[in-house]
Amino acid sequence: MNGYMTTKEAAKKWGISQRQVQYHCKKNRVPGVMMHGTSYMIPENASKGCCI
pLDDT tens for each residue of 1-52? 789 999 999 999 999 999 999 999 999 899 899 999 999 999 999 877 665 5
End-to-end CA distance of the chain: 24
* DSSP label of 6: -
pLDDT given at position 49? 63
Query: 18 near 8, Cβ under 8 Å?
Result: yes
pLDDT given at position 50? 60
pLDDT given at position 21? 94
* Rounded CA separation 15/24 (Å): 14
Domain definitions of the chain by residue range: 4-47
